[in-house]
Each structure stands twice: as C-alpha cells, then as structure tokens.
C-alpha cells in the first residue's frame, strides 16, 4: 500500500532531518531533499531505514529553474501523495551591514526563502486541493518578525515569506490545506547550517556554553515533535503561527530589562 509522503525541502542534520525521522517513525514515507551533501543525505536515509522506516533522498538545488516543480511532480507520480510538505530553506548569511550586503546576496536570499516557497505552493497545492487536504509547514526565524542591523537580506526575505504564508493560508485553508509558519526564535543545534556558518571551533564552543545539558540551543528533535503535532491538528483548531525558543532565551519582542528582576 502507498504510504503518505512527508516531503522535506532542505533536509540537513538539523530540523529537516529530524522532522523526516519523526514522521517516518509514524509510517510516513520521508522524501528528503538537499543541495550539496550527498553523504549526509545518504546517512539520514540509512538511519531511517535502520529504524524500520521508509525514506528516499534527492539532491536538488532549489534555486535552479524547474527543480522544485520537477521533484514535486516526480514524487507525486512515483512515491505517493505528498500529505505534508516542510519548507525548510533558510537564507541566513550572518550579520552584514548595508554596504557589505551584495545585490547578489540580497536577491539570493529572496530566491531561496520567499520565491522558493511560492514555487513549491504553486506546484503542490493543485495536488493537495484535488484531494481536499494537505499540510504545509514553513520553518521560519526571528528575522521574519523583526528587522535588525546586519539582517537586511535575511529579514526582507523571511518577512516576505511570513506574509506569503498568510496569503496562502487565506486562499487555501477553506480548501483543506493547512499552512503553518513556525518561528524558530533562537539558535538551533544544527551542524549543517549554524555549524557551517560559525565553523567547527565556534560551533562547539557555543554548544558547550549554551547547548548540551543547558538546553539553551533549540534541539531539532524537539522541534520535530511540534511539527508532527501541527500536521495532525483537527481542522476546527489549526495553528497558523507557532513560535519556539529555548527556556534560556528572551523572546524576540523582549529587551534584556532590569537584571535585578531576573
Ligand atoms: N540553524 C539555526 O540556528 C536557525 C535559527 C532560526 C531559524 N532557522 C531556520 O531553520 C531552517 C533550517 O533548519 P536547520 O538550520 O536545522 O537546517 P537543516 O535542516 O540541518 O539543513 C537545511 C538544509 O537545507 C539545504 N539547502 C540549503 N540551500 C538549499 C538549496 N538551494 N536547495 C536545496 N537544499 C538546500 C542544505 O543542504 P546541504 O547541506 O546539502 O547544502 C541544508 O543542509 C531554515 O528555515 C532557517 O531559517 C535556523
């Protein structure tokens, strides 16, 4: 029997990979797509197989023309209906002032974080609409809620993405498609993204200082629990927006405040 598919666009060892494992544990066929690390992709797929689940891996560069469109159509034709899609591409380039943010970086951020989501919805939603159901979970970041010095490209792309999620939800919720925007308000224990951006030494220092037993870095396995829950809500009480942060972090809307009150 064909299993329902969870399709993860942007599946590294962090949130993407953990969401794949969580859904595969419940009987989904996890279809994982990522851009450059074939060995990392194979490792994730193998781990799911070892645990008795079903998984398939795909290498794509989502900014290339027709890449998302072709992959979604192939999965729908050959693997099964995409019941849940997870859009997990980020656009963080680290803090860069206005003058040091190039036109190319700004445009690339938008292509990955905003236009990529638009393209995914355009190819996937007709399939979901025909079935009268489907879920699109969109991983997001603090930058979707608040601009900041050095975040010109990232915040513009993520803010646009949040508005796109609202627009998609407005058109498609009544047609059975649940769109949910998940604000990850803090650093994630994610070796393939934050780890690569910081470099091994700084990442391990951050992990020992904030992560591990301190639980001050967002754990991707814990995020995956929330994704599974979101995808299985009753349609009379869907969450559009969820924000997740570590107990050790202030929410994006707070300032440090009076230290005497801590
Ligand atoms: N990491 C954080 O601290 C943090 C904080 C707040 C929000 N977020 C959000 O979390 C999401 C990412 O989750 P994560 O950080 O845990 O990462 P992850 O799931 O471990 O990995 C994401 C994967 O996306 C893939 N990717 C990047 N560009 C791609 C492209 N053009 N085409 C196809 N695949 C591509 C990369 O694959 P390759 O490695 O193969 O190139 C990467 O491994 C993003 O939406 C980001 O905004 C992350």
Choice from 89, 116, 245 to test ligand 1 binding pocket (greatest atom count within 8 A of CB)? 89
d(CA 95, CA 110): 16
CA of 150 to the centre of ligand 1 (A): 19
Q: Which of 136, 140, 99, 101 is nearest to 121 (CA)?
A: 136
Nearest 5°: the CA angle 224, 175, 142 is 40
Of how many residues is the chain composed?
A: 262
Choice from 8, 13, 15 to test ligand 1 binding pocket (greatest atom count within 8 A of CB)? 15
Q: What is the pLDDT of residue 252?
A: 95
- Number of the ligand 1 atom closest to the C-alpha atom of 18: 19
What would the 3-class secondary structure string for the chain be?
Answer: CCCCEEEEECCCCCHHHHHHHHHHHCCCEEEEEECCCHHHHHHHHHHHHHCCCEEEEEECCCCCCCHHHHHHHHHHHHCCCEEEEEECCCCCCCCECCCCCCHHHHHHHHHHHHHHHHHHHHHHHHHHHHHCCEEEEEEEEHHHCCCCCCEHHHHHHHHHHHHHHHHHHHHHHHHCEEEEEEEECCCECCCCCHHHHHCHHHHHHHHHHHCHHHCCCECHHHHHHHHHHHHCCCHHHCCCEEEECCCCCCCCCCCCCCHHHC
- The CB of 37 under 6 Å from ligand 1? The reply is yes
Q: What is the pLDDT of residue 261?
A: 81
- The CB of 188 under 6 Å from ligand 1? The reply is yes
Show Cβ contacts of residue 42 under 8 Å, excluding neighbours closer than 6 positions.
57
User: How crowded is residue 255: how many other Cβ atoms within 10 Å of its Cβ?
Assistant: 5
How do beta strands 5-9 and 29-34 pair? Answer: parallel
Q: What is the pLDDT of residue 165?
A: 98
Choice from 6, 12, 36 to test ligand 1 binding pocket (greatest atom count within 8 A of CB)? 12
- The CB of 88 under 6 Å from ligand 1? The reply is yes
CA of 111 to the centre of ligand 1 (A): 14
CA of 106 to the centre of ligand 1 (A): 17
Q: What is the pLDDT of residue 262?
A: 72
CA of 260 to the centre of ligand 1 (A): 38
Q: Domains of the chain, with CATH numbers?
A: 5-187+227-241 (3.40.50.720)
- The CB of 15 under 6 Å from ligand 1? The reply is yes
Answer left, alpha or beta for residue 221, where phi above 0 means left and psi between -120 and 50 means alpha.
Answer: alpha
Q: What is the pLDDT of residue 53?
A: 98
Q: What is the pLDDT of residue 123?
A: 98
**How many Cα atoms occupy the beta-carbon half-sphere of 79 within 13 Å?**
23
- The CB of 184 under 6 Å from ligand 1? The reply is yes
Taking only the tens of pLDDT, the chain with its 262 residues reads 799 999 999 999 999 999 999 999 999 999 999 999 999 999 999 999 999 999 999 999 999 999 999 999 999 999 999 999 999 999 999 999 999 999 999 999 999 999 999 999 999 999 999 999 999 999 999 999 999 999 999 999 999 999 999 999 999 999 999 999 999 999 999 999 999 999 999 999 999 999 999 999 999 999 999 999 999 999 999 999 999 999 999 999 998 888 888 7
């Amino acid at each position: 029997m064909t299993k329902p598919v969870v399709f993860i666009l942007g599946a590294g060892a962090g949130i993407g990979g953990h969401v794949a494992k969580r859904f595969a544990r419940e009987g989904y066929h996890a279809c994982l797509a990522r851009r450059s690390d074939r060995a990392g992709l194979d490792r994730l797929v193998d781990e799911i197989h070892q645990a008795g689940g079903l998984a398939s891996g795909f290498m794509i560069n989502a900014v290339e023309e027709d890449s998302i469109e072709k992959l979604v159509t192939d999965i729908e034709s050959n693997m099964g209906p995409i019941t849940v899609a997870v859009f997990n591409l980020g656009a963080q380039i680290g803090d860069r002032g206005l003058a040091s943010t190039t036109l190319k970086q700004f445009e690339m951020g938008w292509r990955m974080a905003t236009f990529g989501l638009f393209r995914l919805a355009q190819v996937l939603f007709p399939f979901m609409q025909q079935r009268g159901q489907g879920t699109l979970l969109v991983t997001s970041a603090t930058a979707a809620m608040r601009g900041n010095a050095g975040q010109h490209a990232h915040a513009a792309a993520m803010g646009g993405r949040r508005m796109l999620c609202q627009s998609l939800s407005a058109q498609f919720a009544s047609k059975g498609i649940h769109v949910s925007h998940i604000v990850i308000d803090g650093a994630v224990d994610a070796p393939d993204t934050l780890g690569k951006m910081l470099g091994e030494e700084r990442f391990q220092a951050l992990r020992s200082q904030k992560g591990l037993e301190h639980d001050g870095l967002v754990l991707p396995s814990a995020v995956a629990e929330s994704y599974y829950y979101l995808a299985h809500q009753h349609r009379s009480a869907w969450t559009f927006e969820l924000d997740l942060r570590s107990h050790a972090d202030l929410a994006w809307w707070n300032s440090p405040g009076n230290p005497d009150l801590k």
